[in-house]
A and B are shown apart, each in its own frame.
Chain A
Amino acid sequence: MTEGLLEGKSVKRSFFDAPEGVDGHLPHWYTEARTAAWKDYEEVPWPKRKHEAWRFADLKKLAFDDIVDAAEVDEAEGADLITRSVALEENAGRIIFANDRLIADPLLDAEFAQKGVIFKPLSQALVEDTDLVRLSFMQEPARLGSVKFAALHRARLRDGIFLYIPKDVSLSRSVEVFHWLSGENAAIFPHSLIVSGPGSSAAIAEYIASAGRQPGFCGGVTDLVAGENSRLTHVRTQNLSEQAHSLHVSSSLAADGANIRAFVLNLGCKWSRSESIARLSGEGAGTDMLAVCIPEDSQEMDMRTLQLHEKTHTTSNLLYKNALYDEARTIFAGLIMVEEGAQHTDAYQTCRNLLMSDQCEANSMPGLEINADQVKCSHGSTAGPITDDELFYLRARGIPESAARQLMTFGFVKGAVDGIGHDALEKVVLEKIDRRFRRILS
């Protein structure tokens, strides 16, 4: 056994028992931290609703007692999942995982490999590029409530990707990562570490989805580290089964003049939580934080964000759009924090909720903490249905009510998708959204 597989066992309020010892080939610094992380996981108390970071969260839905380590998928299923791993028409490379194991050879166009681009499984990078990985691997604390789950991730992490773009290299096509979750109550812990050298640029898409409709758990971490004047675009889509749970922690760190765009699409899961931290640690750095959530039935989607301005002339722009159906719930808690001396900061935060039923519930908790005086900041959140005036206008042009609602809802969420600023990626995301609406309406 190479990992601590404890299938079938369940421990109240902990997913598994302690992970098994050290894997021979992995670097010592990594395995040591992994062991420490398991201890942290066990010691950090379970979240409580009265904690500010967990306000409004339905913690009853966060019950993972039956969860087990995901097992390898069989060959036939692997082959099927490979055929389902299609998104962009053209990419610069792609890596496909099922249950945190590679199911196809990783691909990266030779053109970019020759320029020094690294795009490979993290397990491989930990050995081959260990110093580069170590510099940026899980350097950001999980400040938004999930210290315990970040520790769990680090302890249970099996694989993921490492993307590195050397100085001044520009990746003209995006790379793609597919993560499939398969098996009853299986848990995966996908990890992405993306590092851009000075003056470089790249776009990457990650698609996390269930193979079937079973319950399961995904505890992912994404770290983006953008070097001086580099540009990173990251798109993550979550389309896990409606029985699954997911808890994802993302951080981004932008150096001088760097620009990071991060987009999240949340479609699946009974309960999902996404924590996103954008640290603007360099002068003139900028970030766009974008998200679309389309929950239905009794899905709960919980989004916690932090826009952290540490230096002057930094810009952050957050736009989250939720379209809620049935008895769905969303929670948005966003904090803009401008540190002392971070003058000439522009920080904007908008969360809009489109209420498509009378029973759905949107909770918004915007927050500002400003410790500099030359700052432009605004935050706003709205929640409301499609107005009668809008609906009447479309119907007065002959568009039937259901089509009118679909058109407006699509238009509503598209506003956030447009912010990706990358046509091919926008198209992939819009197709997923379109399929979602068709399903909801049918």
Chain B
Amino acid sequence: MSSIEIKDLHASVDGNEILRGLTLTVPKGEVHAIMGPNGSGKSTLAKVMAGHEDYQVSSGEVLLDGKNLLEMNVDARARAGLFLAFQYPAEIPGVSNANFLRAALQARLPEGEEIDAVAFYKQMYDRMDELGIDRKFTGRSVNEGFSGGEKKRNEILQMTMLEPKYAVLDETDSGLDIDALKVVAEGVNAMRSPERGFLVITHYQRLLDYIVPDHVHVLSGGRIIRSGDKGLALELEEKGYDWVKEEQLATT
């Protein structure tokens, strides 16, 4: 029950099936990594989980602690405890980072209850300091004119503020310099807890040196074709994806 369970998920966009029977369980307290070639469906999986309307789910299930996510709308999924750090975060002109975070936290409170502004700002500044984000960013429009790395850090800031039960990080490492990578990894590691699960999508073994996963999965052609421990990531780095694909062909 305390997990995100994806069961035989099929999803398509414009009539093209991208996810073809994907099954994966991420229990609370664990970090799972997904690796896979470009175009294999990693971001599609993330967006289908979050409820993006461009993708049609034809069959399968996604359960968050036993609750059917696919029946909920986008914002209800987030409030249920799912967080997606986008590969390409949108820019939101005119909405400041502070107002945005405040609205997101406010949306989680019961009707009639107001967020404590002083505590909110303190928490936000603390998190920003930890992530090495200049406090000036509170007044700037969300992601507008941010560098690639700044956007990724901002995603992690949102995650630390919203404290989700499950977080899907879609290539949060891409675009980060080595120092930023460490800072972001520390931010994620600080949030690791028996009460929280992570699904980390990446192309690079390097990230997994800092955020050490409990399991590594290879996504190819819209399904998980291989799972293993963190050693699998090293092997992939060495041999490339063709190696797993060939092995898979040999066994099926």
Contact = CB atoms under 8 A, between A and B. Distances in A.
A397 B158 contact: yes
A398 interface: yes
A407 B99 CA distance: 8
A388 to B, nearest CB: 7
A396 B95 contact: no
**Which secondary structure dominates chain B's binding surface?**
mixed
Interface stretch (A83-91, A129-137, A232-240, A408-416): A408-416
A408 B78 contact: no
A411 B141 contact: yes
A406 to B, nearest CB: 9
Contact of A411 (B77, B84, B94): B94
Nearest to B85: A396
Contact of B74 (A389, A395, A408): A395
Nearest to A387: B90
Nearest to A352: B93
A389 B99 contact: no
B99 A396 contact: no
B104 A412 contact: no
Interface residues of A, number: 24
Interface residues of B, number: 30
Contacts of B86: 393, 396
Nearest to B79: A398
A396 B74 CA distance: 6
A401 B188 CA distance: 28
Contacts of A415: 93-94
Interface string A158-196: 000000000000000000000000000000000000000
Given A397-B158, A397-B162, A412 B93 contact: yes
A393 B92 contact: yes
Contacts of B79: 398
A392 B100 CA distance: 13
Interface string A367-388: 0000000000000000000011
Nearest to B159: A397
B53 interface: yes
A412 B93 CA distance: 7
A18 interface: no
Contacts of B100: 394, 397, 407
A400 interface: yes
A347 B21 CA distance: 58
A323 to B, nearest CB: 11
Contacts of A58: none
Contacts, number: 81
Of A395, A413, A414, most B-chain CB atoms within 10 Å: A395
A408 B92 contact: yes
Of A389, A397, A400, A408, the most chain B CB neighbours within 10 A belong to A397
Nearest to B92: A390
Nearest to B99: A407
Given A398-B79, A398-B108, A393 B141 contact: no
Interface string B70-106: 0001110111000010100111111110011001100
A388 B52 CA distance: 10
A393 B47 CA distance: 11
B204 to A, nearest CB: 24
Contacts of A414: 94
A403 interface: yes
A79 interface: no
A399 interface: yes
Nearest to A406: B103
Task: Choose among A389, A398, A412 the residue with the greatest number of B CB atoms under 10 Å from its CB.
Answer: A398
A401 B75 CA distance: 8
Nearest to A415: B94
A413 B162 CA distance: 27
Contacts of A387: 90
B212 interface: no
Interface string B143-187: 000000000000000100010000000000000000000000000
A398 B104 CA distance: 6
B107 interface: yes
Given A390-B90, A393-B90, A408 B52 contact: no
B94 A408 contact: yes
A388 B158 contact: no
B199 interface: no
B216 interface: no
B92 A400 contact: no
Contact of B104 (A388, A399, A413): A399
B162 A398 contact: yes
B94 A396 contact: no
Contacts of B91: 390
B64 interface: no
28 contacts: A390-B90, A392-B52, A393-B92, A394-B95, A394-B103, A394-B104, A395-B78, A396-B74, A396-B77, A396-B84, A396-B86, A397-B78, A397-B162, A398-B78, A398-B104, A398-B107, A399-B75, A400-B75, A400-B107, A403-B107, A404-B103, A407-B100, A411-B92, A411-B93, A411-B96, A411-B99, A412-B94, A415-B94
Given A396-B78, A399-B75, 11 more contacts: A388-B53, A392-B53, A394-B92, A394-B100, A395-B73, A396-B84, A398-B162, A404-B75, A408-B94, A410-B94, A415-B94
Interface of B: 50-53, 73-75, 77-79, 84, 86, 89-96, 99-100, 103-104, 107-108, 141-142, 158, 162
Per CB-CB distance, the 3 closest pairs between chain A and chain B, nearest first, are A411-B94, A398-B78, A411-B95
